Structure 1
Amino acid sequence: MPPVKQQPCPFAPLIFDDEEAIGELSSVVLQLHDALSTNGRCFTTGATEEKAAATRGRIESVLLNAFCTIFGQSPFERFSDIFDQASYLAEHMAKDHIFEDGNKRTSLVFALSILALRNVPVVFPDNPDPKSNPYYAWIQDLVSGKRTREELAQELRSNHISK
């Protein structure tokens, strides 16, 4: 009897096992960061071509680890669900300090965008003042070690909108 293919869980991690997809996602992250910077929320001195290439490489490194099969282990095997994968992205993009400024903000918005891409939106009060924004506090605590990635994943799970 042939093996039965199971339908993926609606909260299953995303897999992008090709360089083109990772390159496109990297461009999305750069555009997101640029949009946040343009709105006056981030500081940047501008990037030389060499620095821009290095930044793209660092972004792609995080994305490869989050979305691709690594040493034969797929994201399905490394992450329990999309919330775990999104919290991994948020943690590593913020802690790797890829940009001069706006790392936490960019990583948080991108992680929430990944959830939305999977059609798993999360409800949260999006206060523009970082001191009053609970998810900004989460990402700050994650970077400083006061909270764990697993705790952030659980917070995202508990605040997703069921359809």
Structure 2
Amino acid sequence: MMTVAPRRAHPFAPLMLDDTGSLEAMAAAVMRLHSTLMKVGRCYTTDATCDRAALELGRVESVLAGAFCTIFGQSPADRFADIFDQVTYVAEHMVKDHIFEDGNKRTSLVFALSVLRLAGSPVVLSDSPEPKDNQYYAWIQDLVSSRRTNSGLAEGLRRGYVAGAGDPSHV
């Protein structure tokens, strides 16, 4: 099961997966998310073959473990300033490692925003139909092109954080 560092100490503390089952469940959720986004987006790819799917799942698990698990005695809180840094790390590795044949940017962006929402730190950016005015599009493009540092990208998410997200009028 996923655990969260006490919110009183740091309202945006990184998430930590405390067991293998949680890592596997999160990786399976990423795989389902990717499959759904590919169907909704009418992309050219179909479901990966058994060998390709196993490779993708292993790569997703590796990225997630690097972000959410204790590694060599270092917890996520030791490696990331907050959850915004953590999801930026995941998005960067999912995109730049090009885990999937198609949909890497969409999957990583939706995953990052979903994790933030589930952790009680939802982000809302401008979702203009014009790419030049769309902050989500700009964020993922900046990540892919390395136009901004990870800390700059995480700061962009922090600025989009919706205070009082527990109030349904903000969701």
Q: TM-score, normalised by structure 2?
A: 0.86
Question: Residues 44 and 6 of structure 1: is their aligned pair in 2 closer, same or farther, counting only changes over 3 Å?
Answer: closer
Q: Deviations over 1:118-137 (max 9, x none)?
A: 11111112345655422222
Return the alpha-carbon distance in structure 2 between the equivalents of residues 76 and 112 of structure 1.
19
Of structures 1 and 2, the one scoring higher in RCO (CA 8 A, sep 6+) is 1
Return the alpha-carbon distance in structure 2 between the equivalents of residues 106 and 75 of structure 1.
22
Identity %: 58
Contact 1:11 1:120 in 2 (8 A): yes
Query: Does 2:161 align with 1:160?
Result: yes
Unaligned runs of 5+ in 1: none
Query: Does 2:44 align with 1:43?
Result: yes
Question: Residues 30 and 132 of structure 1: is their aligned pair in 2 closer, same or farther, counting only changes over 3 Å?
Answer: farther
- Partner in structure 1 of residue 102 of structure 2: 101
| Matched residues, number | 159
AA at the equivalent of 2:96? K
Structure 1 vs Structure 2 CA RMSD: 1.8
Unaligned runs of 5+ in 2: 1-5, 165-171
Return the alpha-carbon distance in structure 1 between the equivalents of residues 155 and 7 of structure 2.
25
Return the alpha-carbon distance in structure 1 between the equivalents of residues 130 and 102 of structure 2.
16
1:7-156 matches, cutoff 5 A: 7-127=8-128, 130=131, 132-156=133-157
Q: TM-score, normalised by structure 1?
A: 0.90
Give 3-state SS (helix, strand or coil) of 1:24's partner.
helix
Return the alpha-carbon distance in structure 1 between the equivalents of residues 7 and 146 of structure 2.
37
Question: Residues 106 and 72 of structure 1: is their aligned pair in 2 closer, same or farther, counting only changes over 3 Å?
Answer: same
